[in-house]
Amino acid sequence: MSLSSPALLTDLYQLTMLQAYFAHAMEQTAVFELFVRKLPGARNFLMAAGLEQALDFLEGLRFSEEELEWVEKSGRFSSGFAARLAALRFTGDVHAMPEGTVFFANEPVLRVTAPMPEAQFVESRLLNLVHFETLVASKAARGVLAAPDRLLVDFGLRRAHGAEAGLLAARASYIAGYAGTATAAAAQRMGIPVFGTMAHSFVQAHDDEAVAFRRFAEAHPRNTVLLLDTYDTESAARKVVAFARDCGSGIRIGGVRLDSGDLAALARNVRRILDKGGLRQTTVFASGNLDEYRMRDLLAAGAPIDGFGVGSSLVTSADAPFLDAVYKLQEYAGKPRRKRSAGKATWPGRKQVYRNFRDGRFDHDVVTVEDDMQPGSPLLVPVMRDGRRLHASENLQTMRERAASQLADLPERLRVLEPAADGYRVVISPALHELAAQVDCVTGGNSALRG
Amino acid sequence: MSLSSPALLTDLYQLTMLQAYFAHAMEQTAVFELFVRKLPGARNFLMAAGLEQALDFLEGLRFSEEELEWVEKSGRFSSGFAARLAALRFTGDVHAMPEGTVFFANEPVLRVTAPMPEAQFVESRLLNLVHFETLVASKAARGVLAAPDRLLVDFGLRRAHGAEAGLLAARASYIAGYAGTATAAAAQRMGIPVFGTMAHSFVQAHDDEAVAFRRFAEAHPRNTVLLLDTYDTESAARKVVAFARDCGSGIRIGGVRLDSGDLAALARNVRRILDKGGLRQTTVFASGNLDEYRMRDLLAAGAPIDGFGVGSSLVTSADAPFLDAVYKLQEYAGKPRRKRSAGKATWPGRKQVYRNFRDGRFDHDVVTVEDDMQPGSPLLVPVMRDGRRLHASENLQTMRERAASQLADLPERLRVLEPAADGYRVVISPALHELAAQVDCVTGGNSALRG
């Protein structure tokens, strides 16, 4: 799916800095890396997503007439600046981890190599896209681990943070292993499987709940899912059984949905009512303020629930609604660079991440400078050269398979919802330590990151 | 600002229900109300926002050719359904609280009165818009209360949940009292004041920090804000003083920005260095993982900080990233309706909210049925009739003034960041209790909400 976004969807300071770069011909090659400085307390790993949208953005970057007019009339910029912006395109290279890759703190997931003004300018929107999809894929992966073999569906559009968040959350959760989404536009635009049941309002609009069930089933006969909790869940389940007896063979009641109350107890009672009524094939689907913890607990309690609709907690990543994701200059004009701000220092230079396995599971990663070959598999691969994609867009299925395989290869201690006492080991290579020391020596810095 | 959003940006079940409504000619008048069932623990009040975008959406609702084609080819719907969708427009009425209005749990902020299919269909996107802007305005208002008379700027685009979240967060926080945003597109499209400083990468790209300051100031001479913490904050402050002495009268160093470390101590030391260097007019601006609690604490500690840039915590409303916002059927075909699901029951009928004052502050609200006039000011006003706005779009300034006046009128106990032990009183009127009892009596329900 291609999202068009205005070039001015950026921070004002990018424009001001561009003007200075242009004024001083600072257009040599810059290398920026996008990474997460620190995992939130409740995350043992992250899952990369959003690369496809990031590449779309880079390929499509250009200022509209209206935007250039605003720049000119704003009185903030020198004459001639708007003309420079009119010609601005992204002509650089990108290396990235493919979507669905599991990664950890301090590991670059995306690297931009481009003339300084271009590489600088794209910061805000690149982060905006990659941060959000990574956030949701990482959250969704936890649900997949907590409710294996259950049908998980994104129900979050209404409480997602705007239109794009709704669409991209459907995409990111699908990559991470969700079965699909309730958002119709995600199906139409990206081919993501779409699921739907019925709303309470439909039942309420009828004077008789049984009539509402019948009418809804007739409108959606092949795989009807009926909502039971508008008034009384168990009595609604009995109405479903009665309806199934009478409705004839054209209608298949695929499932029922529980949306409130004690879901474990209701699921058991409803399952019993359905089974006694001959509806053994009818599945029980649960929703309503669910997250990975509640799914795990419901399943641990033996609740006979076949699928879950997860909304707000998924699409807002409610327990960690943002990541410490940054995009930092690592090299300019051939010289490695680093920031040494208190608590926010970065490792300099162009980097690569190598993943090492032991007994078929991830054992540790090594972050090192690009030309320092290490054992293990390199995670960053070239995806764009001179502003053009190197490959056709990857299929969502490929990303899903990668994500599933990565989750399967995670060490057991990282596959649980609680923070692992013993987190994943990310080794900063001797070569990188040495480079940082050299950079500090040249620019006279402290040694915040050394040792 | 008008955002175009696809009609299919909705939940699949809306389409399935529409098909059933069409099939059974259930096109009589429905009344839905949008409200928040329960305030998050850390909110003493909420602030309404997003109405303008909601009305844009309702006026612009129509299916595109591509969307209709998807509906037809999906195999999910009856023949003729796509043609009905092609003709679908919103022709109903809307009542709403104006943006910037403070409100509480169980108070409708928006009411839709329209033929059932239309009123039902718009649910997902209406919630998506009004929920998000209300969420951010409510969060921003807390910052305004915590840091009165300080310059507050939205820095959140990069970690907002997608493009629309970035733009709408700028708008919502501006309504609530922020001075502006760093997001350029919000300035270009909505006229919101835009602020910008410089990034660490700009300093890093130069071999000499002092050269970076000079070049940046030359690019932005009228009101330069220089970033001090790339290497060492206090030594950078001394470079600013030295530069100011030499730079001539064309450049005005409006401010400096601190982005890491012990902000209170650094602000004091930097203030002292600036004052000694004759830069008494240069302001100190702070950023970096700030929220309303940290701003309050910094100011309580006497930190000489003139303004704050707030990013992630604001635009994701990090301590409460979603509200329990819902859109519920309250009346259909002239009959009041209610849902009685455990813990999620609703009050039936078309409602109005009356606000009562005591000693110039809000004292309590009364929620009642529409025709039950009560003392106090009614908060819901008509804003759309027969699918057309009743008034020109309200000016953002008017909304800001309303928000400021509402915050000023809040009781003191609700103006603090901690949850008030004694929350705001929202009275459910006797007439509403009676109506609920009648509805339950007719539909044979329990009495979850009575008493």
Across the interface, whether the CB atoms of B205 and A116 are under 8 A apart is answered: yes
The chain A residue lying nearest B258, using CA atoms, is: A341
Of B129, B261, B338, the CB nearest to A342: B261
A386 in the same domain as A308:
no
Residue A450 — pLDDT band, cuts 50, 70, 90? very low
The chain B residue lying nearest A127, using CA atoms, is: B158
Residue B421: other Cβ atoms inside 10 A: 6
Which residue of A134, A135, A341 to mutate against B (max B Cβ within 10 Å)?
A341
Q: Which among B315, B335, B359 is the end of a domain?
A: B315
Across the interface, whether the CB atoms of B219 and A195 are under 8 A apart is answered: no
**pTM, two decimal places:** 0.96
Distance from CA of B363 to the nearest CA of A (A): 30
Across the interface, whether the CB atoms of B26 and A205 are under 8 A apart is answered: yes
Q: CA B185, CA B167: separation in Å to the nearest integer? A: 7
Which residue of B3, B84, B195, B322 to mutate against A (max A Cβ within 10 Å)?
B322
Distance from CA of A425 to the nearest CA of B (A): 26
pLDDT number for residue A346: 85
Question: Is-contact A143 A67, C-beta < 8 A?
Answer: no
B152 in the same domain as B184:
yes
Which residue of A14, A74, A159 to mutate against B (max B Cβ within 10 Å)?
A159
Across the interface, whether the CB atoms of B78 and A219 are under 8 A apart is answered: yes
Helix or strand holding residue A60 (H, E):
helix A51-60
Across the interface, whether the CB atoms of A9 and B184 are under 8 A apart is answered: yes
Which is higher by pLDDT, B339 or A320?
A320
Q: Tokens 């809000």 identify what position?
A: B362
Spatial CA neighbour of B443 closest among B367, B327, B350, B329: B329
Question: Is-contact A379 A364, C-beta < 8 A?
Answer: no
Across the interface, whether the CB atoms of B163 and A9 are under 8 A apart is answered: yes
Q: A38: domain CATH number?
A: 3.20.140.10
pLDDT number for residue B198: 85
Q: B274: domain CATH number?
A: 3.20.20.70
Query: Does the pLDDT at position A210 exceed 90?
Result: yes
pLDDT tens by residue, A286-327? 999 999 999 999 999 999 999 999 999 999 999 999 999 999
Mean pLDDT across the stretch A402-421? Answer: 96
Across the interface, whether the CB atoms of B215 and A20 are under 8 A apart is answered: yes
pLDDT number for residue A198: 85
CA dihedral B125, B131, B134, B138 (to 10 degrees): -160
Task: Count how many pairs of residues, chain A against chain B, have C-beta atoms within 8 Å.
Answer: 346
Q: CA A433, CA A431: separation in Å to the nearest integer? A: 5
On chain B, the residues whose CB falls within 8 A of the CB of A169 are 161
Question: Is-contact B90 B61, C-beta < 8 A?
Answer: yes
In a domain, B75, yes or no: yes
Average model confidence (pLDDT) across chain A: 94
For chain B, the farthest-separated pair of C-alpha atoms sits apart, in whole angstroms, at: 84
Of B74, B157, B196, the CB nearest to A16: B196
Q: Tokens 């849902």 identify what position?
A: B339
A130 in the same domain as A17:
yes
B40 in the same domain as B17:
yes
Of B16, B262, B333, the CB nearest to A219: B16
Question: Is-contact A353 A374, C-beta < 8 A?
Answer: no
Across the interface, whether the CB atoms of A216 and B339 are under 8 A apart is answered: no
Query: Does the pLDDT at position B423 exceed 80?
Result: yes
In a domain, A4, yes or no: no
The chain B residue lying nearest A20, using CA atoms, is: B219
pLDDT number for residue A448: 40
pLDDT number for residue A443: 58
pLDDT tens by residue, A97-106? 999 999 999 9
pLDDT number for residue A446: 43
Mean pLDDT across the stretch B8-36? Answer: 96
Residue A300 CB partners (closer than 8 Å, separation 6+): none
Residue B450 — pLDDT band, cuts 50, 70, 90? very low
Distance from CA of B148 to the nearest CA of A (A): 25
Which residue of B15, B110, B341, B347 to mutate against A (max A Cβ within 10 Å)?
B341
Across the interface, whether the CB atoms of B13 and A159 are under 8 A apart is answered: no
Residue A445 — pLDDT band, cuts 50, 70, 90? very low
In a domain, B297, yes or no: yes
In a domain, A220, yes or no: yes
Pairing of strands B307-310, B283-286: parallel
Of A159, A196, A335, the CB nearest to B322: A159
The chain B residue lying nearest A447, using CA atoms, is: B231
Across the interface, whether the CB atoms of B231 and A445 are under 8 A apart is answered: yes
Query: Does the pLDDT at position B288 exceed 90?
Result: yes
A403 in the same domain as A266:
no
Question: Is-contact A224 A188, C-beta < 8 A?
Answer: no
Tokens (6 digits) for A169: 């959350």
On chain B, the residues whose CB falls within 8 A of the CB of A164 are 161-165
pLDDT number for residue A192: 98
Q: Which among B294, B315, B336 is the end of a domain?
A: B315
Query: Does the pLDDT at position B446 exceed 90?
Result: no
Does the structure's ipTM exceed the value 0.90? yes
Distance from CA of A131 to the nearest CA of B (A): 6
Distance from CA of A238 to the nearest CA of B (A): 16
Residue B121 — pLDDT band, cuts 50, 70, 90? very high
The chain B residue lying nearest A203, using CA atoms, is: B339
In a domain, B88, yes or no: yes
pLDDT number for residue B65: 96
Of A11, A78, A219, the CB nearest to B183: A11
B113 in the same domain as B203:
no
A384 in the same domain as A289:
no
B114 in the same domain as B219:
no
B213 in the same domain as B84:
no
Across the interface, whether the CB atoms of A66 and B125 are under 8 A apart is answered: no
Tokens (6 digits) for A300: 């641990």
Which residue of A11, A73, A74, A195 to mutate against B (max B Cβ within 10 Å)?
A11
The chain A residue lying nearest B321, using CA atoms, is: A318
Of A13, A70, A131, the CB nearest to B159: A131
Of A23, A219, A339, the CB nearest to B230: A339
A204 in the same domain as A345:
no
The chain A residue lying nearest B135, using CA atoms, is: A161
Across the interface, whether the CB atoms of B207 and A443 are under 8 A apart is answered: yes
On chain A, the residues whose CB falls within 8 A of the CB of B344 are 259-260, 288
Q: Tokens 């001539």 identify what position?
A: B248
pLDDT number for residue B219: 81
Mean pLDDT across the stretch B321-335? Answer: 96
Spatial CA neighbour of B141 closest among B20, B65, B42, B72: B42
Of B11, B32, B261, the CB nearest to A182: B11
Mean pLDDT across the stretch B261-290? Answer: 96
Average model confidence (pLDDT) across chain B: 94
Residue B249 — pLDDT band, cuts 50, 70, 90? confident
Distance from CA of A414 to the nearest CA of B (A): 25
Mean pLDDT across the stretch A232-245? Answer: 94
Across the interface, whether the CB atoms of B219 and A16 are under 8 A apart is answered: yes
- Partners of B352 in the β-ladder: B368
In a domain, B282, yes or no: yes
Query: Does the pLDDT at position B437 exceed 50?
Result: yes
Distance from CA of A375 to the nearest CA of B (A): 32
pLDDT number for residue A441: 79
Radius of gyration, alpha carbons of chain B: 26
Residue-by-residue DSSP string for A298-331: HHHTT----EEEE-HHHHTTTTS----EEEEEEE
On chain B, the residues whose CB falls within 8 A of the CB of A12 are 182-184, 187, 194-196
Query: Does the pLDDT at position A118 exceed 50?
Result: yes
Residue B203 — pLDDT band, cuts 50, 70, 90? very high
* Domain housing B241: 148-315
Distance from CA of B81 to the nearest CA of A (A): 11
On chain B, the residues whose CB falls within 8 A of the CB of A159 are 127-128, 131, 322-323, 325
In a domain, B451, yes or no: no
Question: Is-contact A169 A160, C-beta < 8 A?
Answer: yes
Residue A451 — pLDDT band, cuts 50, 70, 90? very low
**Percentage of chain A lying above the pLDDT 70 cut:** 97
On chain B, the residues whose CB falls within 8 A of the CB of A26 are 205
Q: CA B178, CA B90: separation in Å to the nearest integer? A: 34
Quote the DSSP letter at residue B414. Answer: G
Q: CA B190, CA B106: separation in Å to the nearest integer? A: 31
Q: CA B419, CA A451: separation in Å to the nearest integer? A: 44
B265 in the same domain as B166:
yes
Q: How many domains does chain B contain in total?
A: 2
pLDDT tens by residue, B362-406? 999 999 999 999 999 999 999 999 999 999 999 999 999 999 999
The chain B residue lying nearest A444, using CA atoms, is: B231
SS3 B381: strand
Q: Which among A271, A286, A315 is the end of a domain?
A: A315
B429 in the same domain as B338:
yes
Tokens (6 digits) for A224: 């009807």
On chain B, the residues whose CB falls within 8 A of the CB of A40 are none
pLDDT number for residue A343: 77
pLDDT number for residue A333: 95
pLDDT number for residue A199: 87
Spatial CA neighbour of B318 closest among A64, A392, A316: A316
Mean pLDDT across the stretch A243-266? Answer: 90
pLDDT number for residue B346: 85
Spatial CA neighbour of B283 closest among B303, B262, B312: B303
SS3 B182: coil
In a domain, B85, yes or no: yes
